[in-house]
Amino acid sequence: MDYDVVIIGAGPAGYYAAKAVSQRKRKLLLAGAEPYLPYWRPRLPEVIRTGQDPESILMSGKDWFSENGVEIQLSKMAVRIDAAQKKVQWSDGDSTSYGSLILSCGSLPNRSPFPFEGKVFPLRSYQDAMDIRQRCAAGKKAFIIGGGSLGLETAFALVKTGCHVAVSVHSYPLSRQLDSEGGKFLAARLKESGITICCGDLANYEAEIDKACVIAATGVHPDLTLAEKCGIKVSRGILVDEKMRTNLQGIYACGDIAEYNGTIPGLMSVAVKQGETAGINASGGDMVYQTVLPAPLTKVAGLTVSSFGSLKLLDDTQIYRKVSADSYAAIAVRSSKIVGAAFIGNVALGTKLKKWMEAEKGIGKAASFEEIEKLVG
């Protein structure tokens, strides 16, 4: 069958691409490898805790797709793209012709070296979450490799089910978002909530790992299988321009699979905007992607953690901090401009600082956290 636009991958980027295409009334096929309608992956720790059905975390119900002219096919795996003939070959033997093609195939979990025998569970899909829930219900013990957002949110979800939970980190939790002082503050709060933080070599934590459900939360990498087979240029991800175009005419990419200006942020806000951009351009529109300043938000152990920019302490960087019993804040300043900030607990100031940074406003002679706070209002 022929379609104006075919989208391979029904994650957030693919879903928002489909929304954009549907608004332009094009004949559209959205193909997803999983047996579920598009759902919110950040809510998988919630699934581990509650065991709720996939319908509870869907991005839209089944009716939305039919009402908006989006044909969606689930458990549909693409195995080959013929860019010259503009055809997609599927694992079931069918083939589909397209006018434009959008790749939103997403990413695959990184595999972390594990010095012990036994299964290591990934957490990337709804089924992964249910497998982890079942295993932890039986053993009541979990060991999570990786102290990023996914690892910590999973840890807290499991603690709430009565599991003994340990999390392995290189140096401190959320090391990509926080400075070391913020990491120490968060580690103390996590310990109070019942989560054990393990630093260093996994081989030193055999007792924590023994009989535990071991979960890998060590990040992801783009799934480039299809792209590499058909001549699409890749580096760490599929290389795209400001319109989400690849090097092959009529083929676009967005979300976790796309590399723009040397970066693959892997954040929901980026997937949404890139998906919209790809969908509009693939259906005959003209939209330029405006880079989104990553500002990841994590909720764990009753605390909200927000950050943006960089807190790296370079030679010409000054970090101003404000710490209380239940909150932590840090602002990085370089050449009288805000270059990064992080907040634990009270994150209200973060939105104002982010706007200030995006506008590239200077802070003048402000020389303390309180002065910067007063300046930005």
pLDDT in tens, 219-250: 889 999 999 989 999 999 999 999 999 999 99
CATH: 3.30.499.10, 3.40.1160.10, 3.50.50.60, 3.30.310.50. Which one for 2-108+220-282? 3.50.50.60
Predicted pLDDT at 314: 66
- For residue range 137-185, list pLDDT tens digits in order: 999 999 999 999 999 999 999 999 999 999 999 899 999 899 999 999 9
| Percentage of the residues of the chain whose pLDDT score is greater than 90 | 75
Find the length of the chain: 377
Which percentage of the chain shows pLDDT scores above 70? Answer: 99
Under DSSP, is residue 256 helix (H, G, I), strand (E, B) or coil? helix
pLDDT at 1: 65
Q: Residue 315 has what pLDDT?
A: 66
Q: What is the pLDDT of residue 135?
A: 96
CATH of 111-216, one of 3.90.780.10, 3.40.50.720, 3.30.1490.20, 3.50.50.60: 3.50.50.60
State the Cα angle at 9 between 260 and 30, rounded to 5°: 120
CATH superfamily of 302-376: FAD/NAD-linked reductase, C-terminal dimerisation domain (3.30.390.30)
Contact 124/217 with Cβ under 8 angstroms? no
12-65 tens-digit pLDDT: 999 999 999 999 989 999 999 999 999 999 999 999 999 999 999 999 999 999
| Domain 2-108+220-282 and domain 111-216 have a common topology | yes
d(CA 229, CA 247): 14
Burial class (CB in 10 A: 0-12, 13-18, 19+), 66: exposed
Please check whether residue 215 is in contact with residue 123, taking contact to mean a CB–CB distance below 8 angstroms: yes
What integer pLDDT is reported at residue 176 of this predicted model?
87
